[in-house]
Amino acid sequence: MANTAGFAASGGWAIIGNGAQVIRYTGLTGSTLTGIPASGVGAIIASIAYNSSITQAPAVTGIPASGAGAILYDLIKGDDVNLFVTRNDTAAQTTLAALLSTILGDDSDGIQEDYIQDRRLSQTEAEARGDALLALRSSTEVSLRYKSRDPLTKAGRTISVSLGSPTSVTADFKIQQVVISNFHPAPDFYPDFDVQASSTRFSLEDLLRLARQGLVKGIAA
């Protein structure tokens, strides 16, 4: 080769010309790719014309031969290869572990896993997406219930709550559900609005997802 700059010294794959040949090498010696198999996958199967181009092929390296992270099944040409990026909020995990230990006596690590799948993201974008989800969901959910005669009370709206001791709650809550009852014949009174609200909006889709993951007991999914 005229120049091996850009090729991995530990080996990899190289594309010759317009991609008609893809070869495998295991190392570099001077200006030569070495360790190319004589036959089989990664071998040179046709003559290479002088002045042909050769480029480093994109490849995932460092995959262990066995154990955690190893390839367990044969990969078929055309299979997707996607990044798996993990983000953690250790402070939220510690808080949840303490709550579970206090309330349930559960010796938990406080880790709750969730997945976001988007096959178009780079590693940087995936990390940002994970951090955004943690910012929305990592806080412990707080819920409350109250009654009101405010006719503007509707599910999905946000209410601001400021309660002193002993409740000591000051936060914004999403109204999850409203049950209207006790209608009055006289126009001077609005009916009762029985409201359930929480610090995060928990949708039916969220409930079904937890049921599929086996995190909600008593629900068949």
Structural domain boundaries enclosing 26: 1-63+70-76
Between β-strands 54-56 and 12-16, what pairing exists: parallel, antiparallel or unpaired? antiparallel
Question: How far is the C-alpha of 100 from the C-alpha of 108, rounded, in Å?
Answer: 7
Beta strand ranges found along 8-51 (DSSP E): 12-16, 21-25, 27-29, 32-34
Question: How far is the C-alpha of 161 from the C-alpha of 99, rounded, in Å?
Answer: 23
Which pTM does this prediction carry?
0.49
Q: Are 177 and 196 in contact (CB under 8 A)?
A: yes
- How many CA atoms lie within 13 Å of 51's alpha carbon, on the beta-carbon side? 0
pLDDT the model gives residue 36: 94
Query: For every one of its 221 residues, what pLDDT tens digit does the chain have, with 9 covering 90 and above?
Result: 888 888 988 889 999 988 889 999 999 998 899 999 999 989 999 988 888 899 998 888 788 989 988 999 998 988 888 888 999 988 888 888 887 787 777 777 888 888 888 888 888 999 998 888 888 777 777 788 999 989 899 988 888 989 888 777 888 888 988 999 988 776 678 889 999 998 776 555 665 665 565 544 444 33
Same domain for 50 and 8, yes or no, is yes
Residue 180 lies in a domain: yes
Residue 3 lies in a domain: yes
Same domain for 1 and 35, yes or no, is yes
Same domain for 55 and 94, yes or no, is no
Number of domains, the chain: 3
Residue 85 lies in a domain: no
Residue 218 lies in a domain: no
Same domain for 113 and 130, yes or no, is yes
Same domain for 128 and 171, yes or no, is no
Same domain for 131 and 152, yes or no, is no
Same domain for 11 and 52, yes or no, is yes
Same domain for 155 and 122, yes or no, is no
Same domain for 202 and 161, yes or no, is yes
Question: How far is the C-alpha of 36 from the C-alpha of 7, rounded, in Å?
Answer: 14
Cβ within 8 Å of residue 38, ≥6 positions away: none
Structure tokens at 98: 């303490």
Structure tokens at 75: 């990969």
